[in-house]
A and B are shown apart, each in its own frame.
Chain A
Amino acid sequence: MPNPTRIEINCETGVESIIELTDAEVAELTYQAELAAEKKAEEEAQAEANAVAKAALLDRLGITADEAKLLLA
């Protein structure tokens, strides 16, 4: 299976080339994609934890989210 390609436009000559990425470039992109997926999963987990904590706090205080916004305004 061929590697993905990139487009390179030489502004001096006007020549446009379609260049296949090297195996090393593809490996780097794959690694970066894995890192990004891990980071996204962490952020989603943190957001979920924050939402749960917020709901618990509002419940403990006996107020709604809108009432909390009013207090903080």
Chain B
Amino acid sequence: MPDTFELIASSTVGSGGAASIDFTSIPSTYTDLVLKLSARATSTNIDLKMNFNSITTGYSRRNLNGNGSTVTSSSASDAWIGPIDGSGQAANIFGNTEIYIPNYAGSTNKSYSIDSIVEDNASLAYAIFIAGLWSNTAAITSISLSALSGSLTFAQYSTAYLYGVKNA
């Protein structure tokens, strides 16, 4: 990792699983945030969302999806951050997601970029790129990762690493 990245906090899901992973009391001393997620769900429900400050409104996104043969694009007013592997995919495979949140502590609306990869070591592979926007001028002090709809359980050994980035 670059010298300007500092690990703020991390979590590894234990044997009991977790319905959500929540980072709270995020310090405002960095310029940007980077969240790296390696995760698997114990269910077939695999779509995740990210909420800031426990607020569920004001999110929108535009995304590009590729599966190796087809590229599609879509947009929606939700906080979707992509899928992870679940019980419908090969065992022991974890999806990877990286979320970049610039100027998270500023007083303007919050944009974020996401790249998300899901594959099952067989025939399924998705690469998803998301440009997201949270139309809220509040500084981000917490980040919650959970199911986009309904519920899912993060499987054991899923990890989330939150880094702060300090510009020179």
B16 touches A14 (CB 8 A): no
A32 touches B151 (CB 8 A): yes
B24 touches A8 (CB 8 A): yes
* Number of chain B residues whose Cβ lies closer than 8 Å to a Cβ of chain A: 27
A29 touches B19 (CB 8 A): yes
Which of A6, A7, A10, A33 has the most chain B CB within a 10 Å cutoff?
Answer: A7
B93 at the binding interface (Cβ < 8 Å): no
A11 to B21, CA, bound (A): 13
Interface residues as binary, B4-27 with A (CB distance below 8 Å gives 1, 0 otherwise): 000011110110111111111111
A10 touches B16 (CB 8 A): no
Please provide the chain A residues from 19 to 70 with a CB less than 8 Å away from any CB of chain B in the complex. 21, 29-30, 32-37
Residues of A within 8 A of B18 (CB): 4-7, 18
Residues of B within 8 A of A14 (CB): 9
Nearest B-chain residue to A33, judged by Cβ: B150
A9 touches B151 (CB 8 A): no
Interface residues as binary, B21-61 with A (CB distance below 8 Å gives 1, 0 otherwise): 11111110000000000000000010000000000000000
For the complex formed, measure the closest distance between the CB of B144 and the CB atoms of chain A, giving whole angstroms.
8
* Number of chain A residues whose Cβ lies closer than 8 Å to a Cβ of chain B: 22
B153 touches A4 (CB 8 A): yes
Partner of B16, one of A11, A18, A36, A37: A18
A13 to B21, CA, bound (A): 16
Partner of A33, one of B8, B10, B151, B153: B151
23 A-B residue pairings within 8 Å (CB atoms): A4-B17, A4-B153, A5-B17, A5-B18, A7-B11, A7-B13, A7-B18, A8-B22, A9-B9, A9-B22, A9-B23, A9-B162, A10-B9, A10-B24, A11-B9, A12-B27, A18-B18, A29-B147, A29-B151, A35-B149, A35-B150, A36-B45, A36-B149
User: Which A residues are within 8 Å of any B CB, using their own CB?
Assistant: 4-14, 16, 18, 21, 29-30, 32-37
User: Which B residues are within 8 Å of any A CB, using their own CB?
Assistant: 8-11, 13-14, 16-27, 45, 146-147, 149-151, 153-154, 162
